[in-house]
Amino acid sequence: MNAKVVRICCGPYESLAYLIVDEENGNSILIDAGLPAVEILNVLGREGASLELVLLTHTHFDHIAGLPELADHLDVRAFAHEEDISVLTDFWPLNMGPPPDLEPLEGNVKVGSLSIEPLHTPGHTPGSVCYHIRRLGAVFTGDTLFKGNIGRTDFKHGDPMRMRGSLLKLMELPPSTAVLPGHGEPTTIGAERVNLEEYLRWLET
């Protein structure tokens, strides 16, 4: 499978969505779906891509608020970790109407010949997930790991000790693994190792 990754910056929070397109047949998956969804729809049109499903790194508003608008145009299923689905109403603004329908993740996700491994990385939220795609040498980290920083654990349902375990899990990935975060610029696991070790010490105090 020849895959193309398209980075999409969504709205005032500058949350990042990623469209992964099979260049052979145009099938695609979307990781996260911020507002405005028109940005995502425009990229789908430009790439001539058909959206198969949406995978969510977590259910904070800035990463899922585009789902209702996407549902107005496309019949597409969205998946999140069950621990985040259980607290979705705590994150979803009341003035936005009912929250989107989400299905629980169950093991690896296959799109064509591409296998996507969900890594449960709680801490920022209880159901935060990073998506590791070995064939692309990349991990999509949402708000768990950024270039030079980690996700906040002081929001509702955040947990510093669970974040520590999640960072240790990410450190097990090959150093060359590209880190594609939910905000900001890309980096690699190797480039972040010194920062990760420092954050681990900080989280222990």
Regarding predicted confidence, which is higher, 30 or 95?
A: 30
The rounded distance, in Å, linking the Cα atoms of 88 and 86 is 6
Alpha-carbon gap, residue 202 to 2, rounded angstroms: 41
Q: Can you list the domains of the chain with their CATH numbers?
A: 3-204 (3.60.15.10)
Give the residue-averaged pLDDT of 126-153: 97
The pLDDT assigned to 44 comes to 96
What pLDDT, in 10s, does the model give residues 87-113? 999 999 888 889 999 999 999 998 877
Is residue 175 pLDDT above 70, yes or no?
A: yes
Q: Which amino acid is at 48?
A: G
Averaged pLDDT of the chain: 94
CA atoms of 69 and 81, how far apart (whole Å): 21
In three state form, how does the secondary structure of 19-63 look?
Answer: EEEECCCCEEEEECCCCCHHHHHHHHHHHCCEEEEEECCCCCHHH
The percentage of residues in the chain with a pLDDT greater than 90, rounded to a whole number, is 83
β-pairing, 77-80 vs 50-55, is: parallel
Query: Using 50, 70 and 90 to split pLDDT, how confident is the model at 1?
Result: low
CA 134 to CA 13: how far, in whole Å?
29
Chain centre to alpha carbon of residue 12: 18
Question: How confident is the model at residue 177, as a pLDDT?
Answer: 98
Q: How confident is the model at residue 11 (pLDDT cuts 50, 70, 90)?
A: confident
How are the residues of the chain apportioned to helix, strand and coil, as percentages rounded to the nearest 5? 30, 30, 40
pLDDT tens, position by position, 46-98 = 999 999 999 999 999 999 999 999 999 999 999 999 999 999 999 998 888 89
Distance CA 168, CA 191 (A): 15
